[in-house]
């Protein structure tokens, strides 16, 4: 359901595809979640395991 809504909203923009930047939280990195996102055609952007110089506001 969430992925369908994302694709629906993205159709109105000129940007192609969806990229997902995850924060390495266990629920986000579970193999079921990763496989679901891959099957949905979402590109998963890796995030460093821990990097104090990268603040969330940088994104």
The residue with greater pLDDT, 31 or 29, is 31
Rounded to whole angstroms, how far apart are CA atoms 28 and 26? 5
pTM, 2 dp = 0.54
Name the residue ranges covered by the structural domains of the chain.
1-6+18-50
Q: Measuring CA to CA, which residue among 28, 12, 31 is closest to residue 20? A: 28
What's the pLDDT score for residue 22? 76
Instruction: Tell which residue, 29, 24, 21, has the closest CA to residue 59.
Output: 21
Mean pLDDT, rounded, for 16-44: 82
Confidence label for 12 from pLDDT (cuts 50, 70 and 90): low
Model confidence at 45: pLDDT above 90: no
């Amino acid at each position: 359901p969430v992925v369908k809504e994302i694709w629906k909203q993205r159709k109105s923009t000129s940007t192609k595809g969806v990229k997902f930047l995850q924060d390495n939280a266990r629920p986000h990195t579970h193999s079921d979640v990763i496989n679901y996102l891959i099957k949905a055609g979402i590109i998963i952007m890796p995030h460093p395991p821990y990097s104090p110089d990268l603040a969330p506001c940088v994104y």
